Structure 1
Amino acid sequence: MFYVFPNPQAIAEYVSGLLIAQIQKKNNAVLGLATGSTMEPVYAKLCEQVAQQNVDVSGLTTFNLDEYIGLGSDHPQSYRYYMRQHLFNRLAFVQHRTFLPDGLCADSLQQCEQYSRQIQQAGHIDLQLLGIGNNGHIGFNEPGTSFASRTHVVPLTEQTRIDNSRFFDSLDEVPTQAITLGLQDIMESKQIILIATGTNKAQIMAELYESPVSEQLPASVIKSHPNALVLLDELAAQFLPADLCNVAVV
């Protein structure tokens, strides 16, 4: 389940290959996408390899994990803006099949119910990408979130806001709430790939490795998934027992 790569670029090449294989196997696949600096090399490599191999992405449907409440799609720190910059505007995605929560919606609770329902109507997610927060959150599902949760509104913890403040001019500008895909929605994905890179993720990856499946560490839920991979670079894996990790062949 845990695979260690030399660096983020090696992970990006491996994950891009998995994504392309999924698309070639099922040209109308449903992909679950994540944002953040961890995903940037993945999307850059995917754009490069799709162009090189002339892969058709026009049949894909995508659902993103989350969005800030209070940010419109044109705000530079919204996740819709991120996805356009790093993926959607660089490849031939059909825009009406790229789904993210609307941070400016009038009724966030209704939207949450609709979002989970849209994923179910699409046949669930074929391949879900995940990052991990320093407290073990996936999406914005903070410690204590029910494993039975569907898409919901969450108040962002102070630590999560501090962690994300590097993308804003100040902590005051970081939204205090977000809409996030629920843990049950995530677990209904047919395949899950969690990626962690860098020294700042080493401690939480050690905790994830050692933890039982517990709602106090949301990412631990993927240990009970039948088709989940955890991909780390050497820096993120530095506190894991070397003999207990599978070393990736790249």
Structure 2
Amino acid sequence: MKIIHAKDYADMSRKAANIISAQVILKPDCILGLATGSTPIGAYQQLIKWYEKGDVDFAQVSTYNLDEYRGLSHDDPQSYHFFMRDNFFNHINIDLSRTHVPDGSNTDAAAACAEYDRMVAAAGYPDLQLLGIGNNGHIGFNEPDDHFSAGTHCVDLTESTIEANSRLFDNIDDVPRQAYTMGVQTIMYARMIVIAASGEKKAQAVRDMCFGPVTPSCPASILQLHTNCVVVADEAALSLCPEA
């Protein structure tokens, strides 16, 4: 696990975007695993700027997102389908038919998850997987548990995750209580993982991820075992790390 130090959120975003753009330039038809939430928005904005300058071309790129809320249609403004179009896809030259997000509108959880697993496996898994980390150490929507998950599955969101995500909704009661998420095993199949973290609220989770025991009580800790994992974090997020 390599740790890249950033000064602040803007610096973290540029450094993460640098790694992603390098992947696309080196392999124009690469597969990117993408994340949602507030953490990656800055990286997406930087990539959009570089695309507009002609520095990076997404025409042949395919993407697979980590997760989606269960029960939301693709056009729901709170869905991750909408999030990705609004924050990234609509501003670059990616072919939307090459973009994939779990189908939250399919209330048959077993069918929706099995189909997404099939698609990700058929594609050959991401060349680069971008992750954020939750305050409780979750990656995707893989919450702390007594075991590491395998494939895509339906999860009950913890109260801490619901509270953290409520800032994006009008009311905390509007936050879905379930989501479909890639499993930890699926995430680990990516050939490279970039995990971005910013802010003091993430400091304990980042410390546990990088320096704590590998345990499903901190799902991100499994990344210590990945052969090509890069942590891009700012000073506040690294403030509790002994070697930061």
- What's the TM-score bracket when you normalise by the shorter of the two chains? over 0.9
State the partner residue of 1:104: 105
Cα distance, 1:121 vs structure 2: 0.9
Structure 1 residue 223 displacement after superposition: 0.4
Is 1:32 matched up with 2:7?
Answer: no
Q: Which residue of 2 aligns with 1:206?
A: 207
Deviation at 1:54, TM superposition (A): 4.1
Q: Counterpart of 2:192 in structure 1: which amino acid?
A: Q
Residue in structure 2 matched with residue 196 of structure 1 by the alignment: 197
Q: Cα offset for 1:128? A: 0.3
Q: What are the equivalent positions in structure 2 for 1:56-95 lying under 5 Å apart?
A: 56-95=57-96
CA distance in 2, matches of 1:34, 1:219: 14
Separation (CA, whole Å) in 1 of partners of 2:40 and 2:78: 15
> Is 2:11 aligned against 1:10?
yes
Residues 24 and 145 from structure 1, CA distance in 2 versus in 1: closer, same or farther, beyond 3 angstroms? farther
Note if 1:122 corresponds to 2:140: no
Q: Distance in 2 between matches of 1:211 and 1:240?
A: 10
TM-score when normalising by structure 2: 0.96
Query: Letter of the aligned partner of 1:3 in structure 2?
Result: I
In the alignment, which residue of structure 2 is the partner of 1:229?
A: 230
| Paired position in structure 2 for 1:175 | 176
Contact preservation (8 Å) 1:146, 1:183:
no
Q: Secondary structure at the match of 1:41?
A: helix
Structure 2 unaligned regions, length at least 5: none
1:248 corresponds in structure 2 to: none
Q: Find the aligned partners of 2:149 and 2:172 in 1 and give their Cα distance.
A: 31
User: After alignment, is 232-241 or 128-137 more displaced?
Assistant: 232-241
1:153-185 CA-partner distances (Å, limit 9, x unpaired): 001111111111111111110101000001011
Task: Tell whether the 8 Å contact from 1:65 to 1:139 is kept in structure 2 after alignment.
Answer: yes
Q: CA 1:224–1:6 in 2, change beyond 3 Å: closer, same or farther?
A: same
Within 5 Å, give how 1:141-180 maps onto structure 2: 141-144=142-145, 146-180=147-181
Contact 1:144-1:215 at 8 Å conserved across structures: yes
- Cα deviation, 1:126-161, whole Å, max 9, x if unaligned, reads 000000111100000011163351000001111111
Distance 1:148 1:102, change over 3 A: closer
Deviation at 1:29, TM superposition (A): 0.4
- Structure 2 residue matching 1:37: 3-state secondary structure: coil
Given that residues 16 and 49 in structure 1 are in contact (C-alpha distance below 8 angstroms), is that contact kept between their aligned partners in structure 2? Answer: no
**What is the CA-CA distance between 1:107 and the residue it aligns to?**
2.1
**Identity value in percent:** 42
